[in-house]
Chains A and B, each alone.
Chain A
Amino acid sequence: MGYLESVDLCRIDLANETPKPRDNEVVVFKDFFQMGFRLPCHRIIPEILDKFEIKLHQLTPNAIARIGVYIWMVSSQGVRPTSDSFCRIHKLHYQTKARGGSIFHNNFGCYNFKYRRDARGPSIASQSKWPSDWTQYWFYHEVNLSLRLDHSCLIAKPLMVNFGRPRPMCASSNEVNMRARSAFETVAAHISTRDLVEEYLAVRAAPCNASLSVPKGLRTTDRNGLVTLPFKFKAIGKFTRPSEAWRKYIERLACKVVGNFVPKEDKEMSEHFGDRVPRRFNRIYNLFKVPYPDYEAFEEGETAIGRLRALR
């Protein structure tokens, strides 16, 4: 899958109910990686955790996806993403179920991010169905000693009960942060979350990866301010050139991150884009000249499962 650089950096613990990481280890969930998390991670991730005063193991997979989408939105405009800008756009959302009918709540896998009401975020898509035992797939991942300074906010030893700060104070008015915010809003106004995920998957970028880079060189900017950077096609598996089959493959990959297209997302897009036709907009498919159909609106009473069955 290409999620891990080396298995040797990972350690399994089948004995403990309370994780006991070593000095240079973080506790991670397997599903984080499906959502784009990589180690070493992008520099703003430890900063974000630090500002919200939470630890890595407290995030949900969808929170990881949300960070990745933000990084892509800003980076793909050729602008540097910042943790301050992220914090200004998002609020921390504590979300758990009471355990076993008791009043007790988990203190891991419990925080997601939501857009603030004034943030003008993109049309949302997210994975809503998770195996009930996803939090049981955890392991330790070593953090390279040379990176520990950057990643020190990831490391928690011992793991203690901790609660985050829903809206941390952040500098939002300096030029760097304002540029990031502007890039975010420009993209959010025209591209849905699903298309954003497909964009970064199409160029084989992992936004949460420390090594994320975007190409420099001749870029184009359309009348809406959307930037297309000069990405080159990267072969993936049997797909050696852009094609319809490749595009469908990317769409299936995106479903692992944001789930299937469902009526709720359909409605969200209609509210976000109004009568715009097509609602779908993907800079990477456009760059590689791969046609893509618009999302088909759901009929009254039609469900995602019903549509899937009809297609079979």
Chain B
Amino acid sequence: MARTRTTAVAADDRDPEVVPPEEHGVPEAEEIPKGDAGDGGSEGSDDGSEDEDIYYVDEDGEPLVEVTVPKKRSRDRPCKSSHIIFSKSKIIPADLREMK
């Protein structure tokens, strides 16, 4: 159910600006469970503590959409460059042939 009638627009967090690393503090990255070799995407926990729900309603007061404005902006993790630096690929032709 909608809790609040509002015409407010959620704060736009789409700003693609890349902030230089030196302007950041220590990032608040998700902890990877101990023992995991790589972070292929473990489930983690969802305590929802970092988010704030906003309820939108249409003209008739019916819920339209629900959005959340993150308090911790996950974009605020420094990256080394505005270009993405991967590691060199280890894929060899045999890998592709095997995948076919």
Which of B10, B30, B33 has the most chain A CB atoms inside 10 A of its CB?
Answer: B30
Interface residue B8 (Cβ < 8 Å from any Cβ of A):
no
Q: Which residues of B contact A (CB under 8 A)?
A: 10, 13-14, 16, 18, 21, 24, 26-27, 29-30, 32-33, 36-44, 46, 48, 51, 62-68, 70, 74-75, 77-93, 95-100
Interface residue A19 (Cβ < 8 Å from any Cβ of B):
yes
CB neighbours of B90 from chain A (8 A): 133, 136-137
Whether the Cβ atoms of A130 and B46 lie closer than 8 Å is: no
CB neighbours of B81 from chain A (8 A): 161
CB neighbours of A136 from chain B (8 A): 86-90
Whether the Cβ atoms of A17 and B86 lie closer than 8 Å is: yes
CA distance A103 to B27 in the complex (A): 7
CA distance A135 to B39 in the complex (A): 10
Chain B: which residue is nearest A162 at the CB level?
B16
Interface residue A138 (Cβ < 8 Å from any Cβ of B):
yes
Stretch of A56-64, A142-150, A229-237, A283-291 lying at the B interface = A56-64
A90-104 with Cβ < 8 A to chain B: 91-99, 103-104
Q: Chain A at the B interface: mostly helix, strand, loop or mixed?
A: loop
Whether the Cβ atoms of B86 and A135 lie closer than 8 Å is: yes
The 14 sampled A-B contact pairs (Cβ below 8 Å) are: A6-B100, A14-B89, A57-B84, A66-B41, A95-B29, A98-B29, A99-B80, A131-B37, A136-B89, A161-B79, A163-B74, A166-B68, A173-B62, A173-B64
Interface residue A10 (Cβ < 8 Å from any Cβ of B):
yes
A38 CB, nearest partner CB in chain B, Å: 11
Interface residue A132 (Cβ < 8 Å from any Cβ of B):
yes
CB neighbours of A17 from chain B (8 A): 85-88
A199 CB, nearest partner CB in chain B, Å: 21
CA distance A57 to B89 in the complex (A): 13
B85 CB, nearest partner CB in chain A, Å: 5
CA distance A14 to B90 in the complex (A): 7
Interface residue A298 (Cβ < 8 Å from any Cβ of B):
no
Stretch of A41-49, A105-113, A179-187, A269-277 lying at the B interface = A105-113
A212-263 with Cβ < 8 A to chain B: none
CA distance A114 to B48 in the complex (A): 11
Whether the Cβ atoms of A13 and B43 lie closer than 8 Å is: no
CB neighbours of A137 from chain B (8 A): 89-91, 95
CA distance A60 to B16 in the complex (A): 21
A148-201 with Cβ < 8 A to chain B: 158-173
Interface residue A134 (Cβ < 8 Å from any Cβ of B):
yes
Q: Which of A2, A31, A117, A127 contacts B46 (CB 8 A)?
A: A117
Interface residue A1 (Cβ < 8 Å from any Cβ of B):
yes
Chain B: which residue is nearest A117 at the CB level?
B48
Assuming the contacts A93-B30, A163-B74, asked whether A62 and B99 have C-beta atoms less than 8 A apart, the reply is no
